Amino acid sequence: MKITLLGTGTPAPSLTRQSSGYLIEVGGDLIVMDHGPGAHHRLIESGYRAVDVGYVFISHLHYDHCMDFARLVLQRWDMGADRIPDLKVYGPAPIARMTELLFGEDGVYGPDIRARIEHESSIFVFEERGGKPPRKRPAPRVKEVKAGDVVEGDGWRVTVGNASHVQPQLECLAFRLDSDEGSMCYSGDSGGVCEGLIELARGCDVAILMNHYFSGGEPTASYRAACGNHLDNAAIARRAGVKTLVLTHFLAQIDQPGVRERIIHEVKQEFDGNVIWGEDLMRLEISRLKEKRL
Ligand SMILES: [Zn+2]
């Protein structure tokens, strides 16, 4: 089982950190968790293509977590030429509505899709890619999920939990993946010391947690409850008993030499496991993380 960090940034513009995205190779499947702007470019840089991805889990519908979803679906549909199974998509409501508004007959990409299905030149390209007309519309198989739901694939199982973020305006989920090769938990966006997240991450090999800002720098209590900071994350990792903590989703203000080291040092005062400062395209092999302490 391998995890590649596709995007470790925020909604803020950055050339070094794209918005949220994580790629998991497990069993015979390739899974994406979140697909914010830039994450798809990183997916290609990681050596994969949209057609290789079978499953997508979206934690919440903030645009920095789902804007490249459209790119993934359309590129996969276009290159796949009806020769690959439909993409399986899991996320909170209203992700089914979002998908319909993007790819439905009257959707944002409706005219594009119609043109690619009907225009002679597009049919030619489709056939060159191995497709047999009439071409089908993109039809991602979307299932809206909530905390407690379980999704199973080839040798893996994802359990859905709640994050503490911007509810009730947006439903916000966290995911835990278990397999024979190892386990990981991704917080999505989450703040404070979220008890549900501690339970979800219990005993995981890897926990990937939103680390938006430096502890104590929160402007309000509500901000702290919605956005992760390093000392709250250290407490979550310690109480959940995870082996490796991966910090991600950094504001530029804390993504600085000196600040970075101080955060890692302070986390290590509280949490006894490995601590990793996430970077785009960083690749984590679970078996290696199990073998050694960093
Ligand atoms: Zn968010």
Cα Rg for the chain, rounded, in angstroms? 19
Average pLDDT score over residue span 182-203: 98
How many CA atoms are closer than 13 Å to the CA of 82, on its beta-carbon side? 15
62 Cα–ligand 1 center, Å: 5
3-state secondary structure of 224: helix
92 Cα–ligand 1 center, Å: 13
Average pLDDT score over residue span 125-153: 97
The Cα–Cα gap between 241 and 203 comes to: 5
Measured CA distances, 223 to 196, 208, 219, 229, 256 (Å): 18, 20, 7, 10, 22
183 Cα–ligand 1 center, Å: 23
17 Cα–ligand 1 center, Å: 16
Cα dihedral sign for 54, 237, 294, 277? Answer: positive
Identify the CA nearest to 210 among candidates 169, 166, 170: 166
State what percent of residues in the chain have pLDDT above 90.
97
Which residues keep their CB under 5 angstroms from ion ligand 1? 62, 189
pLDDT value for 177: 98
pLDDT one-digit tens code per residue, 142-168: 999 999 999 999 999 999 999 999 999
2 Cα–ligand 1 center, Å: 24
The Cα–Cα gap between 60 and 100 comes to: 17
The Cα–Cα gap between 140 and 73 comes to: 7
pLDDT value for 106: 96
The Cα–Cα gap between 175 and 186 comes to: 5
191 pLDDT exceeds 70? yes
Give the H/E segment covering residue 284: strand 283-285
233 pLDDT exceeds 80? yes
pLDDT value for 202: 98
287 Cα–ligand 1 center, Å: 30
291 pLDDT exceeds 80? no
Question: Is pTM, for the whole model, over 0.85?
Answer: yes
pLDDT one-digit tens code per residue, 197-223: 999 999 999 999 999 999 999 999 999
Residue whose entry in the numeric block shows the structure tokens 């947006």? 170
Query: Quick check: 29 and 154 in contact, CB under 8 A?
Result: yes
Split at pLDDT 50, 70, 90, the class of 292 is low
Q: What is the overall mean pLDDT for the chain?
A: 97
Split at pLDDT 50, 70, 90, the class of 2 is very high
61 Cα–ligand 1 center, Å: 8
241 Cα–ligand 1 center, Å: 25
Task: Report the alpha-carbon angle 87-82-95, nearest 5.
Answer: 25
Residue whose entry in the numeric block shows the structure tokens 């990793």? 276
DSSP lists the bridge partners of residue 161 as 174
State what percent of residues in the chain have pLDDT above 70.
99
Task: Report the alpha-carbon angle 33-218-92, nearest 5.
Answer: 25
83 Cα–ligand 1 center, Å: 34
Split at pLDDT 50, 70, 90, the class of 176 is very high
Omega cis (within 30) before 134: yes
Helix axes 69-80, 95-103, angle to 10 degrees: 50
226 Cα–ligand 1 center, Å: 8
139 Cα–ligand 1 center, Å: 26
pLDDT value for 294: 52
